[in-house]
């Protein structure tokens, strides 16, 4: 009887010592949302693996809300710019740009003015392993547009990678390095220039 009571008490103490999964999820989502909202600018280098397993590298710039630039190293002629409204995919050989509404891309979750990953229906999965925290999210208003998995170093919290699955199911992975946060980035880095 005494052994059973001690075992029950130990089990209860063990449960009290570790937060319930829902509480842990809420705490981590609040941490990530606060981290992203406090990151006004970010720049560094990136390595991208696209859906055809093609590897590209280049310089990366982000200015929240809504602005991002991927400047690819040669021989890749692409330049991808989000200007707050549009995402332009520019062929630097001829200046031709295809435009897509930013709101219709999974990157909108990362670039919006106020990130709140605790919003109803936004997060579909949280994974904690190897000192990293991975959060998969969709836009609750447009879940069919794709998803983004953001991967962070957990302690201290820092964005390291994201994986985007678009509406057609194509996966693109972007790993970041040499990051500098909250530095001045000229506004003209986020202008989609029309060759006409």
**Does 127 map to a domain?**
yes
Q: What is the pLDDT of residues 99-153, one digit of tens each?
A: 999 988 878 888 888 988 887 778 999 999 999 999 998 877 777 778 899 999 9
CB 83 within 8 A of CB 192: yes
Q: Is 18 helix (H, G, I), strand (E, B) or coil?
A: coil
CATH code of residue 145: 2.50.20.10
| 85 belongs to a structural domain | yes
Measured distance CA(39)–CA(33) in Å, rounded? 10
Give the helix/strand (H/E) hosting 177.
Answer: strand 171-181
Determine the pLDDT at residue 161.
94
Phi-psi region of 38 (alpha: psi -120 to 50; beta: other; left: phi over 0): alpha
Quick check: is 16 in a domain?
no
Is 195 a member of any domain?
A: no
C-alpha–C-alpha distance, residues 40 and 18, integer Å: 33
Would you state the pLDDT for residue 95?
76
Number of domains in the chain: 1
Q: Is residue 113 included in any domain, yes or no? A: yes
In this structure, is residue 5 part of a structural domain? no
pTM across the whole model:
0.80
Residue 4 in any domain: the answer is no
Residue 1 domain-assigned (yes or no)? no
Residues 174, 46: contact at Cβ < 8 Å?
yes
DSSP string, 70-116: EEEPTT--EEEEEESSEEEEEETTT--EEEEEGGGSTHHHHHSSS--
- pLDDT value of position 118: 83
Q: pLDDT value at position 5? A: 42
- Cβ pair 43, 185 in contact under 8 A: yes
Closest CA to 180 of 45, 66, 23: 45
| Parent domain of 36 | 21-190
Nearest 5°: the CA angle 59, 61, 64 is 165
Regions of the chain with pLDDT less than 50: 1-18
Asked whether the beta carbons of 115 and 66 are under 8 A apart, the reply is no
What's residue 195's pLDDT? 57
pLDDT of residue 11: 39
Q: Three-class SS of residue 8?
A: helix
Res 20: pLDDT = 57
């Amino acid at each position: 009887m005494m052994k059973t009571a001690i075992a029950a008490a130990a089990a209860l103490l063990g449960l009290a010592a570790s937060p319930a999964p829902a509480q842990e999820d809420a705490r981590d989502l609040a941490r990530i949302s606060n981290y992203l909202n406090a990151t006004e600018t970010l720049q560094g280098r990136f390595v991208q693996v696209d859906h055809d397993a093609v590897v590209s590298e280049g310089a990366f710039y982000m200015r929240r809300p809504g602005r991002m630039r991927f400047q690819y190293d040669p021989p890749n002629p692409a330049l991808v710019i989000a200007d707050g409204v549009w995402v332009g995919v520019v062929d630097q050989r001829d200046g031709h740009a295809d435009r897509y509404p930013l709101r219709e891309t999974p990157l909108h979750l990362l670039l919006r003015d106020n990130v709140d990953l605790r919003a109803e229906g936004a997060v579909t999965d949280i994974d904690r392993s190897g000192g990293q925290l991975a959060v998969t999210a969709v836009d609750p208003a447009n879940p069919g547009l794709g998803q983004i998995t953001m991967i962070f170093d957990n302690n201290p919290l820092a964005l390291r990678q994201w994986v985007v699955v678009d509406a057609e199911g194509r996966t693109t992975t972007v790993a970041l390095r040499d990051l500098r946060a909250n530095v001045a980035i000229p506004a003209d880095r986020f202008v989609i220039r029309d060759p006409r």
